[in-house]
Amino acid sequence: MENRTPRQSFTTVTDLVLPSETNPLNNLFGGELLARMDRAASIAARRHCRRVVVTASVNHVAFSRMIPLGSVVTIEAQVSRAFKSSMEVYMDVYIEDRESGERTKANEAIYSFVAVDDTGRPVQIPAIHPETEDEKNRYDAALRRKQLSLVLAGKMKAAEATELKALFE
Ligand SMILES: CC(=O)SCCNC(=O)CCNC(=O)[C@H](O)C(C)(C)COP(=O)(O)OP(=O)(O)OC[C@H]1O[C@@H](n2cnc3c(N)ncnc32)[C@H](O)[C@@H]1OP(=O)(O)O
């Protein structure tokens, strides 16, 4: 199986915020953004492995800024690390100023996906080789995040989470 780079999975999705997608303050509804990010991240995960992928967990979401009605929202998604059948997808969300076109970062999120066969069983995926400094940093921290996600899901004992334990030693 040929190794791949994060860049090969890079996915960008740009869309408007419409009135039906807002909360009472006329800002983008959080659940709508989660769904948009799920779509963008699943495309990135598919681009990495060229298989059917399912969302295994939402590891982290930071709603740092409100996203007002009428905003142009761009989600950039990229696989940050591939394991055996699972992969971490890191997303950066930007809003664009209508007049200047200047982009501001509004949000960040990390989702995990698993590649599966036609019966839904996990299948092996290609390894990934980070190239840039940012890609290397995200790659290095991904195992820690995976272990945290597995501990929270009750799929790993805390004592086995070596990367997490190393943080406190
Ligand atoms: C795009 C969409 O919206 S899809 C719809 C929403 N998603 C779904 O319906 C998925 C439903 N869940 C499932 O089908 C299963 O739980 C799966 C496929 C995610 C995992 O199946 P399991 O039987 O737990 O498989 P298994 O224990 O072998 O784990 C498979 C991989 O998933 C990883 N994994 C499982 N749960 C988690 C989790 N909570 N966080 C991170 N990784 C996880 C495992 O670590 C393993 O990774 P690896 O092979 O890279 O080491």
Each residue's pLDDT tens digit in the chain (169 positions)?
A: 788 999 999 999 999 999 999 999 999 999 999 999 999 999 999 999 999 999 999 999 988 999 999 999 999 999 999 999 999 999 999 999 878 889 999 999 999 999 999 999 999 999 999 999 999 999 999 999 999 999 999 999 999 999 888 877 7
Distance 151 CA to ligand 1 centre (A): 13
CB distance 146 to ligand 1 below 6 Å: yes
What is the rounded radius of gyration, in angstroms, for the C-alpha atoms of the chain? Answer: 17
Residue type (1 letter), 72 = V
Distance 88 CA to ligand 1 centre (A): 11
Ligand 1 atom nearest to 125, measured from its CA:
50
Phi, psi of 100, deg, nearest 5: -85, -20
| CATH number of the 6-129 domain | 3.10.129.10
Measured in Å, residue 53 CA sits from the centre of ligand 1 at 9
Q: Is the ipTM of this complex over 0.90?
A: yes
Nearest partner of 90 among 75, 79, 105, 106, judged by Cα? 79
Structure tokens at 156: 């790993």
- Has this prediction a pTM greater than 0.90? yes
Torsion of CA 57, 59, 62, 63, to 10 degrees: 10
Cβ pair 42, 113 in contact under 8 A? yes
- The DSSP H or E segment spanning 81 is strand 72-82
